[in-house]
Amino acid sequence: MARIPAAERRAELVAAAVRVIAAHGVDGATTRRIAEEANAPLATLHYCFATKEALFGAVFEHLATQYREVLTRNDVHSDLQTTARTLLRGVMEWYLENPDFGATIIELISWGQREGKQAEIVYNAAFETMRTILETTTTAAGRPADPDTIDRLIYLVSALSDGFALNWLVFTDTAASASQIELTLGVLDTWMSANLGDAAAAPAVQTADIAPAQDMRSLVSWVRTD
């Protein structure tokens, strides 16, 4: 039998860990169960990953990479409103198509917060990807958006997609998912119309002031560790 390269074996173990964590949670994701899911000897898992924490760290990196790739694929190189809307739709549809990823992310967020700042690192990396995409756009009226507005928009896309993902994982209502996506997009549209569009495009909406910050941690307080 041909020997499987170490990099390929590591990737298989990470993919197996995603499925096991989604099905059994972090506490139920034993190394033995993950090795069995990957159809690999337990000794191979311990050779590839010195500890379970190292394996979970690799899972975090994998999920973060997947999330950033989803954002990049949904960069339509259009105006700010269209781009933000397409990013949000792309992330929500990705959660629908990959329920194991959504479940694993939610499981690992709590674990990551207990172990250090891995969850915060993943979120900030995603925020930076969104920022890079959105900063290259202008509004539909041709105006550049200031950094504070970009940060608020990033927060909205993240918060709305997270809320959609959690609701989907709880109810898994495929029949309702299409209308729920449109409803969630409508929330984003309303905010953008009030804050980015023409004054007559929508009724004025009062939004809470958010103090400028050096990074997105102040906007996403529920993943802070300090």
Most confident of 33-37, 118-122, 210-214: 33-37
Average pLDDT (211-220) is: 38
C-beta atoms surrounding 38 within 10 Å: 22
> Is it the case that residue 69 has pLDDT exceeding 50?
yes
DSSP state letter for 4: P
pLDDT average, residue stretch 8-26: 95
pLDDT, tens digit, 9 for 90 and up, residues 171-189: 989 899 999 999 999 999 9
Cβ-contact 88, 161 below 8 angstroms: yes
CB atoms under 10 Å from CB of 126, counted, come to 22
pLDDT, mean of residues 17-46: 95
Higher pLDDT pick, 154 / 1: 154
Phi, psi of 52 (to 5 degrees): -65, -35
Give this prediction's pTM: 0.81
pLDDT bin (cut points 50, 70, 90) of residue 4 is confident
Residue 212 vs residues 31, 117, 209, 217: alpha-carbon distances, Å: 43, 22, 9, 11
Contact (CB, 8 A) for 223 and 162: no
Q: 205, 190 in Cβ contact below 8 A?
A: yes
pLDDT exceeds cutoff 60 at 157: yes
Q: Tens digit of pLDDT for each residue in 85-129?
A: 999 999 999 999 998 988 998 888 878 777 777 788 888 889 999
Mean pLDDT of the chain: 85
Residue predicted with more confidence, 72 or 214: 72
CA 134, CA 203: separation in Å to the nearest integer? Answer: 25
Q: Does 206 or 164 have the greater pLDDT score? A: 164
Question: What was the pLDDT predicted at 50?
Answer: 93
- Structure token digits, residue 192: 């953008």
| Comparison of pLDDT for 223 and 7, the residue scoring more | 7
Q: Would you put residue 172 in left (φ > 0), alpha (ψ -120 to 50) or beta? A: left
Q: CB-based contacts of 108: which residues, under 8 Å, 6+ apart?
A: 21, 26, 56, 59, 60, 63, 118, 119
Average pLDDT over residues 70-94: 96
CA distance 34 to 14: 9
Q: In whole angstroms, what is the distance from residue 65 CA to residue 125 CA?
A: 9
Cα separation, 80 vs 82, whole angstroms? 6
**Locus of tokens 């298989």:** 12
Q: Which domains does the chain have, with CATH numbers?
A: 1-50 (1.10.10.60), 57-208 (1.10.357)
Which of left, alpha, beta for 204 (phi over 0: left; psi -120 to 50: alpha)?
beta
**What is the pLDDT, as a whole number, of residue 158?**
95
pLDDT at residue 1 tops 70: no
